[in-house]
Structure 1
Amino acid sequence: MTQAVRKIDMDKTQAIWNPTDRQTEFLSAGDFEVLYGGAAGGGKSDALLVDALCLQHEGHKNPRHRAVLFRRSFPELRDLISRSLEIYNQVDPFASYNATEKVWTLSSGAKIEFGYLHNDADRLKYRGRAWNYIGFDELTLWPTDVCYLYLFSRCRSTDQTLPRYIRATTNPDGPGQLWVMKRWGIQEDGSATRIPVDVEDKEKGVTTTFHRTFIPARLSENPHLSETGYREALLQLAPDERDALLMGLWRQGRVHGAYYANEMAEMRNRGGIRSVPYDPSEPVNTFWDLGWNDTTAIWFHQQIAGEHRFIRAYENSGESLDHYATYLQNSGFNLMGGRHYLPHDARNKSLQTGKSALEILQEMLPNLNFEVVPRIQNILTGINQTRLAMRGKVFIDATECPDGIAALDNYRKAYNERHDVFTERPLHDRYSNFADAFRQWGQALEEGLTGPRQQFRRKPKPPGGMWI
């Protein structure tokens, strides 16, 4: 695939999309596993959408061609779908898009599907499915490689003329940066890599060598964005973001202005981020950041023998409160004996329902004890309270809380580009919700109880031992 994309069986001289040299390299790559990533503005999402057509193998003309493109959440998926509406109907005027199923059907019968994997458990929704082309947009937004590797088992086809491809794009930031760097052997300068991978089949006595390829993207290589002011906008970012999104540098762990950097480093040094067991005989507390129909984050916590154990972190977006009530009911945790801490705005009444989040949750979960953490005048007070609390016996489960851990690592001060300094105001981004929910824990310890740093009061086990 080295030429411009053209209409199918229409005017052969009319190009509708012209790839850059780097996009051409990605589209032409024959290796099974390819990552196209680096600076912002490199045309990565466009390249992934076009590559899913498998034009070089005439996949768009093959009724058995099946492709799927994943993003981390449905709101993020909307952008990719919106761009596909601009491209695919021009490539194939007779193609149709089913908005309910999120599936394109080309005139040949080939299909391109869109899906999202918000957390590791979502991968099981795709059990039993099969695609010969699987793509991930913004791969480093997945904090672990669980979903990515699981989908390898779904990459198959009985049609030998169709290629089997795993493709991904990303910027050099996000909670999954470390595992992506390790998998493709990416160095800080973001240069290209091609790693041989030997796969041994002991039953057949055969070893097959595949290659895992990383193709770097640079803004300077995309002429479509020259003279648009985009470069100047990136120059105004904070130094770490500027290095990643403009220069395409992969500098893992260097989050300038991070509030909890010292506390997280100390926690790792003492082994505080590890496998944390759940004790069903002890109650589970929760700490919330409420977003109504925006993002809501919840930490699940046990306090045992003076230790604060965070056993799960859950986040979702675009869901109403009944979704989170159901999630709690199905969690399998002993929640009835615990306390469930909501932020101060949980008392605010909704104009739509006339009820507050606190009232709605109390109606849905009448057996749970909800409390509202008192409001503080300055958010930095709550952050400092949380810092102090993190210096105690705190343990976070590495497997059940990957997004939460990433949020604590990356929650940072906003940057003033005019004066080239960090402010004391937190930056509101994808990490804020988990960080704000975690702050409810720090504030509850210091302000929500009878005295500073006291144990959580526990209710006795209910009659008959009934828990939810």
Structure 2
Amino acid sequence: MSLHVDPTVLDDPDTEVVWKPTPKQAEFLASDDFEVLYGGAAGGGKSDALLIDALCLQHGGLDNGNHRAVLFRRSFVELRDLISRSLELYRDIDPDASYHQTDKVWTFSSGAKVEFGYLANDNDRLKYRGRAWNYIGFDELTLWTTDVCYLYLFSRCRSTDKTLPRYIRATTNPDGPGQKWVMERWGIQETGEETFVPVDIVDEELGTITSMYRRFIPARLSENTYLSSTGYREALLQLAPEERDALLQGFWRQGKVHGAYYTNEMQRLRSEGRIRHVPYVSSAPVNTFWDLGWNDTTAIWFHQIVAGEHRFIKCYENSGEKLEHYAQYLLSAGVNLSGVHYLPHDAENKSLQTGKSAVQILRELLPALSFQVVPRTPQVLTGINQTRLAMGSNVYIDDVECVDGVAALDNYRKTYNPRLDAFTDQPMHDRFSNYADAFRQWGQVFEEIVRGHAHKPTSKQRRRATGLTA
């Protein structure tokens, strides 16, 4: 008895079915369009569909030693969930397949390979220069704030084996910081119906035009019978209204984030043109503000004070990396690091593995830099309110170098209590909270920074700043 997942042979009595697609998953697997987005509401089986589709079974990919696929998530933490599910699926499909944990690569008995990677920020795309896959997949596409990584990987989608298809595939929910560009690329309306976007590829050198479709296949929880009677629908019904509409109904509504802490402050920054290009001034010291994650995400904001302005010139976030990685990133950032580098209060907690605290390790790695631990506030809300007040000052945020940080500040919000049908005073811990927590370190020491700021730029330095002020 053979193992199989091809939906065309599910009724064959001689085939042992190890995975059976829902009708929508089968539609996604059968699509021959080059660029396909699958998803919408939660519970549509997006990750499973992507893992199976990466095998290109309908084109014999699993039996072709030349087949190469890669699946991306936004962070290392999120990638672990996808890998964990692959460990359940792939060994059932091919018992002789092996997984290399360090390289994050599955090698099947034919020699076909499926690789896993993550793209925490736009610069991570450059790690994949010189690589090639005939299948490239992105899980939870709207978590990428911009389309930079997505479009760059198109240049890596190739194969010398003409029997293998070239596919770009993605899955997503309707929410996330990249919602706008994803909606625009696939022509998705608020109600989330299926779309076919005609695309003409013009080759002026060869004088040819190639026509294709960019397709969006929506999926709903109600179409996934495997999740019926599991309580998942009831869990979604307890979400805040806008999240419930997105994840249960598959609506792609854009607009105000209900329960967001910094809504008014961010609206003011935009209306006054203070989210824009922010020039770096090499003569001004750079401060950094951190949120640390030993086994989670670490986020860093880069900040200068120039002519009385608080300028956020860059931000960086990554996951699954040790402090050595972030120390190296600081040194490679090409900025004047002679300012103060502010760490959260838990930086003084000692790790069970090393017996050292984060601040100890960073001081050893970067002895020339000044690290300071920000004292813990009695209530997180106190620090948030301090930050809101500080944002009313002369604050500027770079709209390109800090695009993910801006999205986090827009979306950092309160936890919703479904029993009371109201938001609590407690922040929601999600993909936006790391940058927001790092930014809060700035708000908590804002008055101290203003009082202790000794850098008084000369008129010449002010002119060189290419100014945000007159």
- After TM superposition, the score normalised by the length of structure 1 is 0.92
Instruction: Note the 1:12-31 alignment, pairs <5 A.
Output: 12-31=14-33
| Equivalent position of 2:431 in the other structure | 430
Residue 263 to residue 151, structure 1, CA distance change in 2 (3 Å): same
Report if the CA contact (8 A) 1:218-1:248 is conserved: yes
* SS across alignment from 1:253: coil
**In the alignment, does 2:57 pair up with 1:55?**
yes
| Equivalent position of 1:464 in the other structure | none
Measure, in 1, the Cα distance between the counterparts of 2:6 and 2:35: 22
Instruction: Note the 1:306-321 alignment, pairs <5 A.
Output: 306-321=308-323
* SS across alignment from 2:396: strand
Give aligned pairs, total.
453
| Equivalent position of 1:68 in the other structure | 70
Measure, in 2, the Cα distance between the counterparts of 1:332 and 1:402: 19
Q: 4, 7, 10: which one pairs with 1:4?
A: 7
Aligned-pair identity (%): 72
Measure, in 1, the Cα distance between the counterparts of 2:16 and 2:166: 29
Measure, in 2, the Cα distance between the counterparts of 1:2 and 1:26: 14
Measure, in 2, the Cα distance between the counterparts of 1:12 and 1:397: 61
| Equivalent position of 1:400 in the other structure | 401
* SS across alignment from 1:131: coil
- Return the letter of the residue paired with 1:36: Y
* SS across alignment from 2:327: helix
- Return the letter of the residue paired with 1:236: Q
Instruction: Note the 1:55-454 alignment, pairs <5 A.
Output: 55-336=57-338, 338-446=339-447, 448-449=448-449, 454=451
Q: 451, 454, 459: which one pairs with 1:457?
A: 454
* SS across alignment from 2:18: strand
Report if the CA contact (8 A) 2:99-2:106 is conserved: yes
**Which range moves more in the overlay, 342-351 or 243-252?**
342-351
Report if the CA contact (8 A) 1:362-1:370 is conserved: yes
Measure, in 1, the Cα distance between the counterparts of 2:64 and 2:356: 54
Measure, in 2, the Cα distance between the counterparts of 1:83 and 1:400: 34
* SS across alignment from 2:58: helix
Measure, in 2, the Cα distance between the counterparts of 1:455 and 1:195: 56
Shift of 1:259: 0.3
Deviations 1:108-153 (A, max 9, x none): 2221111111111111111111111111111111111111111000
Shift of 1:5: 7.7
Report if the CA contact (8 A) 1:4-1:17 is conserved: no
Shift of 1:12: 3.8
- Return the letter of the residue paired with 2:387: T
Residue 445 to residue 145, structure 1, CA distance change in 2 (3 Å): same
* SS across alignment from 2:249: coil
Measure, in 1, the Cα distance between the counterparts of 2:373 and 2:442: 11
* SS across alignment from 1:14: strand
Report if the CA contact (8 A) 1:66-1:132 is conserved: yes
* SS across alignment from 1:249: coil
Measure, in 1, the Cα distance between the counterparts of 2:400 and 2:251: 27
- Return the letter of the residue paired with 2:454: R
Deviations 1:336-390 (A, max 9, x none): 2x12122233334445544433333222222222223233222222212211221
| Equivalent position of 1:465 in the other structure | none
Measure, in 2, the Cα distance between the counterparts of 1:98 and 1:353: 26
Report if the CA contact (8 A) 1:285-1:302 is conserved: yes
Measure, in 2, the Cα distance between the counterparts of 1:235 and 1:138: 21
Residue 104 to residue 11, structure 1, CA distance change in 2 (3 Å): farther
**In the alignment, does 2:47 pair up with 1:45?**
yes
Report if the CA contact (8 A) 1:155-1:165 is conserved: yes
Report if the CA contact (8 A) 2:74-2:119 is conserved: yes
Shift of 1:419: 1.0
| Equivalent position of 2:465 in the other structure | none
Residue 28 to residue 350, structure 1, CA distance change in 2 (3 Å): closer
Measure, in 1, the Cα distance between the counterparts of 2:321 and 2:98: 28
Residue 353 to residue 86, structure 1, CA distance change in 2 (3 Å): closer
Shift of 1:6: 7.0
Report if the CA contact (8 A) 1:190-1:216 is conserved: yes
Shift of 1:258: 0.1
- Return the letter of the residue paired with 1:375: R
Measure, in 1, the Cα distance between the counterparts of 2:14 and 2:330: 57
Measure, in 2, the Cα distance between the counterparts of 1:91 and 1:344: 48
Measure, in 2, the Cα distance between the counterparts of 1:24 and 1:406: 34
- Return the letter of the residue paired with 1:4: P
Report if the CA contact (8 A) 1:6-1:14 is conserved: no
- Return the letter of the residue paired with 1:371: Q
* SS across alignment from 1:298: strand
**Which range moves more in the overlay, 163-172 or 321-330?**
321-330
Deviations 1:201-246 (A, max 9, x none): 1112222222111111100000111111110111111212211111
Measure, in 1, the Cα distance between the counterparts of 2:122 and 2:104: 21
- Return the letter of the residue paired with 1:19: P
Shift of 1:13: 2.3
Residue 2 to residue 17, structure 1, CA distance change in 2 (3 Å): closer
Measure, in 1, the Cα distance between the counterparts of 2:453 and 2:335: 17
**Which range moves more in the overlay, 344-353 or 237-246?**
344-353
Measure, in 2, the Cα distance between the counterparts of 1:101 and 1:158: 23
- After TM superposition, the score normalised by the length of structure 2 is 0.91
Report if the CA contact (8 A) 1:102-1:115 is conserved: yes
